A and B are shown apart, each in its own frame.
Chain A
Amino acid sequence: MLRFIVRRLLTLIPVLLGVSLIVFFLVRLIPGTALEMYMGTQVEATPEMMEELEKLFGEDKPVPVLYLEWMQDILKGDFGYSLRTGRPVLPDILSRLPLSLELTLFSLILALLIGIPLGIASSLRQNTFGDFLMRILGLLGLSLPQFWLAALMVMAFSGFNGWIPMGNYVGFLEAPLRNIKMLFFPSLAIGIGFAAVVMRYTRTSMLEVFQMDYIRTAKAKGLKRKSVIYTHALKNGILPVITVTGFNAGYLLSGAIVIEEVFALPGMGRLSLYAIYQRDYPIIQAVVMIVATIFVLVNLVTDIVYALADPRIRLSD
């Protein structure tokens, strides 16, 4: 198991290097340098001042050197400075990250709570009308744009006093109840599409498990239907759901970017949207780098959890 984890950790290095290369060089594709964008048109600078500024912005060196320096800085936790406010980028992002992560986690929990029971129910009624109906509902769930769902929720429920609390965001530790109230509808808007995915995976996987010999054996030795389903089938049927959950965590996190805007929640998504509108590239670079890293790490953890749950994976590798 340890060997599996170490090997899997080693594959992270080239992937994260590649991600950093893409993030760094794509931003370099933008016409104009960060310095020119910072200066705009209003400031007249003497050549000496320009030289000074170029050094400050690190534009006095060839691009590969700049990349290496950027990498060094990132590893030290220095993601540069905002072009608009001049403040360091990382603290601003870190102060908004918890909200986005909480939103992601809540939507994940909601999706699993909705998706797994429906998937099991559907698999137990294979090829009945109820199964068919749930299949259609699942496809409908996949077709709903998150931001439209969010807008509908705002329209439908903000009339009810306190259903969607507006005003300042409060952290979970400060006021858990208010925090959950604030994030319930946003999480639902993000999670419903994923609930449909979970439902479909659970159903297919349960149906596959039902075909297995050991289920037949369990039935043959006279176990109750309930115990066959919940103790024998469910354990293995749920496995693929772990993978699909890990793989979709990034999708939920980027969904948070859009949904925060609709519900006016001050998370990382809103910060990055304003950064995009204002062409504040250091922030954009940092957000993309951080989210991609989180995504890759979540996938790693997913793989490890899966290997822990299913010995066949780590033995075959």
Chain B
Amino acid sequence: MNTMTRLVKNRIALAGLIIISLYVVIIVVSFFWLPFDPMEMNPELMLQKPSLSSGHIFGTDEFGRDILSRVMKGSAVSLMISILATLLGATFGILMGIWAGFLGGRWDNVIMRIADILFSFPSLLLAIFIMAILGENNANIIIAIGIVYIPQFARISRGAIIALKSNEFVRAARSNGAGSSYILFNHLLPNSIAPIIVQISLSLSVAILLESALSFLGLGIQPPEPSWGNMLSSARKVMMLAPWTAIYPGLAIVTLVLGFNLLGDGLRDILDPRLRNVR
């Protein structure tokens, strides 16, 4: 069975894939159509209860803005930041990790000590610290979360390369005259991609949590631009009166994060050959 078939057959991965696809559809729709203007304030429609008849299915917030429209608009920002941050962390982390693993010796030591130092900061604290220094804007959120991810990807890809590089096929390639870069990128990297893919999926989920935590603390996406995190932040003042202001943005976070976690967990089953034989 190839990976795609196994992916569809694995119920957990499939459930994750479905959730993520639904979000992609919502995001595409949100570019062309939203139930209401997510930015328009309507003092007379303040804190309306969710109701079908008024059209505000998720209710309205303290400025009378439609929560469903804001949740929809926020999904694009959250997913974009999560993807770009993961891409940034993965690119630098993998490059560092595979060179460290492949070269070994002194380079390995230097690169992995740098990773150790970055690892000494709890991830949320490091992200908060970087945001406090760089200042709040969307590009900086991507940088902050990306930096948090670098050591994680470095460690995983290094481990994968080290496990592979003493294999016969590497020596065979070398005796055929292949250069180091060629072996690394054409032989070793493709063979160590499985754990990296799983890590990417899990990183996407954590990035959404990190971004929403930063925005919740006022260090991430700045109002009035809607994001799930900053919606929850402003909901804190009114949530005792209007619980829906806090419930729906949170549910949006949970479902998308769950989607990536399901996909990642399913992918681990599928891609890890050791687990495959157990089942």
The finding on whether chains A and B are genuine partners in a shared complex, rather than unrelated, reads: yes
* Those of A1-39 within 8 Å (CB) of chain B: 14-16, 18-19, 22-23, 26-27, 29-30
Question: Would B113 and A135 count as touching, CB distance under 8 A?
Answer: no
Residues of chain A with a CB closer than 8 A to B133's CB: 26-27, 29-30
Q: Answer whether residue A255 sits at the interface, using C-beta atoms and an 8 A cutoff.
A: yes
Q: A147-B213, A151-B239, A155-B239 are in contact. Are A250 and B254 (CB under 8 A)?
A: no
Question: Would A284 and B132 count as touching, CB distance under 8 A?
Answer: yes
Question: Would B246 and A15 count as touching, CB distance under 8 A?
Answer: no
Contact partner, A147, options B132, B232, B262, B265, Cβ 8 Å: B232
Count chain A CB atoms within 10 A of each CB in B118, B217, B232, B246 and give the residue with the most.
B217
Question: Would A18 and B12 count as touching, CB distance under 8 A?
Answer: no
Query: B residues within 8 Å of A by Cβ?
Result: 12, 113-114, 116-118, 120-125, 128-130, 132-133, 205, 209, 212-213, 216-219, 232, 235-236, 239-240, 243, 246-247, 250, 253-254, 257-258, 261-262, 265, 279
Residues of chain B with a CB closer than 8 A to A279's CB: 132
Q: Answer whether residue A148 sits at the interface, using C-beta atoms and an 8 A cutoff.
A: yes
User: Measured between C-beta atoms, what is the minimum distance from B201 to chain A in Å?
Assistant: 12
A262 to B129, CA, bound (A): 20
Question: Would A147 and B216 count as touching, CB distance under 8 A?
Answer: yes
Q: Answer whether residue A54 sits at the interface, using C-beta atoms and an 8 A cutoff.
A: no
User: In the complex, given contacts A148-B250, A258-B124, what are 7 additional A-B residue pairs having Cβ atoms less than 8 angstroms apart?
Assistant: A18-B114, A19-B121, A26-B130, A136-B12, A147-B213, A147-B232, A272-B128
* Those of A124-183 within 8 Å (CB) of chain B: 127, 135-136, 139-140, 142-148, 151-152, 154-155, 158
Contact partner, A250, options B125, B212, B243, B250, Cβ 8 Å: B125
User: Measured between C-beta atoms, what is the minimum distance from A260 to chain B in Å?
Assistant: 11
The 8 closest A-B pairs by CB, nearest first: A18-B117, A250-B122, A148-B250, A143-B257, A254-B122, A143-B258, A254-B124, A254-B125
Residues of chain A with a CB closer than 8 A to B209's CB: 143, 145
Output the nearest chain B residue to A285 by Cβ-Cβ distance.
B129
User: Measured between C-beta atoms, what is the minimum distance from A100 to chain B in Å?
Assistant: 12
Q: Flag the segment in A79-87, A222-230, A288-296 that touches B.
A: A288-296
A121 to B117, CA, bound (A): 37
11 of the cross-chain contacts (CB-CB < 8 Å) are A15-B116, A26-B130, A29-B133, A139-B12, A140-B258, A152-B246, A258-B217, A261-B217, A276-B128, A276-B132, A292-B120
User: Measured between C-beta atoms, what is the minimum distance from A144 to chain B in Å?
Assistant: 6
A104 to B217, CA, bound (A): 19
Question: Would A18 and B113 count as touching, CB distance under 8 A?
Answer: yes
Output the nearest chain A residue to B11 by Cβ-Cβ distance.
A132
A27 to B130, CA, bound (A): 9
Q: A30-B133, A155-B240, A295-B120 are in contact. Are A257 and B246 (CB under 8 A)?
A: no
A277 to B212, CA, bound (A): 17
Residues of chain B with a CB closer than 8 A to A288's CB: 121, 125, 129
Q: Answer whether residue A253 sits at the interface, using C-beta atoms and an 8 A cutoff.
A: yes
A142 to B265, CA, bound (A): 11
A257 to B257, CA, bound (A): 21
Contact partner, B124, options A143, A155, A158, A251, Cβ 8 Å: A251
Q: Answer whether residue A110 sits at the interface, using C-beta atoms and an 8 A cutoff.
A: no
User: Measured between C-beta atoms, what is the minimum distance from A257 to chain B in Å?
Assistant: 7
Residues of chain A with a CB closer than 8 A to B279's CB: 127
Question: Would B254 and A143 count as touching, CB distance under 8 A?
Answer: yes
Q: Answer whether residue A273 sits at the interface, using C-beta atoms and an 8 A cutoff.
A: yes
Residues of chain A with a CB closer than 8 A to B239's CB: 151, 154-155
Question: Would A155 and B243 count as touching, CB distance under 8 A?
Answer: yes
Residues of chain A with a CB closer than 8 A to B213's CB: 145-147, 258
A152 to B247, CA, bound (A): 8
